């Protein structure tokens, strides 16, 4: 009998940070991975790294908040790698500010990438999952969904992704598709480094200060999140759906 076709995964915002770590982990798990990012050159660099590790990956540039860009990117992925049946909605941005200082554009930009982006990507990919009668969707939320000063836009978007996940689980479950959500706490990454720079705190000091408030007394690493994604994507996790997993070193990181 012919070998079964490899599972194809799409990871958004995968040029760096959590997305890149997730793409590498899924490739190590044997999946073929589309590394999707607004910055195609950086996406290709991540894909090349995966190839040097013996994996199969392509770098794809697309704005996840743009309908035509998403449609074109998913069609390209299906041509080059095969129909995608795993989707990790990780792409995200921050535009932090206190509510009275927050501009309309800052609100709209965060909603566009996190919520509209996850919606467009999922809508574009889900028919491949339905056709295959199997699929895995993992959305990246945050402990900020519980509320965080200066992040009215980001917190709202991350809370919205939790509701989106639970609805997907209800709608797509009968097609063999699961949908789950991961809410990271403090993760040492490019995004949190940028936060430290913005508030004028040296990076090492910022990490130490944040770690003191975490029950396990350390900062999270991008691989901590990638490992959680790997669990949800695994075929053995088919009875786990509609869940929100806080990967935060404690009840709230």
Q: CA distances (Å), 104 to each of 109, 113, 119, 152, 154, in order?
A: 9, 15, 21, 12, 13
DSSP-derived 3-state class of residue 135: strand
Q: What radius of gyration, in Å, describes the C-alpha atoms of the chain? A: 17
The structural domains of the chain, ordered by start, are 8-185+222-245 (3.40.50.720), 187-219 (no CATH)
Residue 151: both structure tokens together: 């992040």
Q: Half-sphere exposure of 194 toward its Cβ, with a 13 Å CA cutoff?
A: 8
- Contact by Cβ (8 Å): 46, 61: no
Q: Catalytic site residues?
A: 154
pLDDT given for residue 3 in this prediction: 53
Written as tens digits, the pLDDT of the chain (253 aa) is 455 688 999 999 999 999 999 999 999 999 999 999 999 999 999 999 999 999 999 999 999 999 999 999 999 999 999 999 999 999 999 999 999 999 999 999 999 999 999 999 999 999 999 999 999 999 999 999 999 999 999 999 999 999 999 999 999 999 999 999 999 999 999 889 988 998 899 999 999 999 999 999 999 999 999 999 999 999 999 999 999 999 999 987 5
């Amino acid at each position: 009998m012919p070998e079964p076709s490899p599972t194809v995964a799409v990871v958004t915002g995968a040029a760096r940070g959590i997305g890149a770590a997730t793409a590498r982990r899924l490739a190590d798990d044997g999946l073929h991975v589309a590394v999707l990012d607004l910055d195609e050159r950086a996406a290709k660099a991540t894909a090349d790294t995966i190839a040097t590790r013996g994996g199969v990956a392509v770098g794809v540039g697309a704005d996840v908040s743009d309908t035509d860009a998403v449609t074109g990117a998913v069609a390209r992925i299906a041509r080059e790698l095969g129909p995608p049946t795993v989707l990790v909605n990780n792409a995200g941005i921050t535009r932090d500010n206190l509510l009275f200082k927050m501009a309309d554009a800052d609100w709209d930009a965060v909603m566009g990438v996190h919520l509209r982006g996850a919606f467009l990507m999922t809508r574009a990919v889900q028919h491949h999952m339905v056709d295959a009668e199997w699929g895995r969707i993992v959305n990246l939320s945050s402990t900020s969904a519980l509320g965080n000063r200066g992040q009215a836009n980001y917190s709202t978007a991350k809370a919205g992704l939790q509701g989106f996940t639970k609805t997907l689980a209800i709608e797509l479950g009968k097609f063999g598709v699961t949908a789950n959500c991961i809410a990271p706490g403090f993760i040492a990454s490019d995004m949190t480094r940028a936060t430290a720079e913005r508030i004028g705190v040296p990076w090492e000091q910022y990490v130490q200060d944040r770690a003191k408030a975490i029950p396990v007394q350390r900062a999270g690493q991008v691989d901590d999140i990638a490992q959680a994604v790997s669990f949800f994507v695994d075929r053995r996790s088919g009875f786990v759906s509609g869940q929100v997993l806080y990967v935060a070193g404690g009840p709230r990181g």
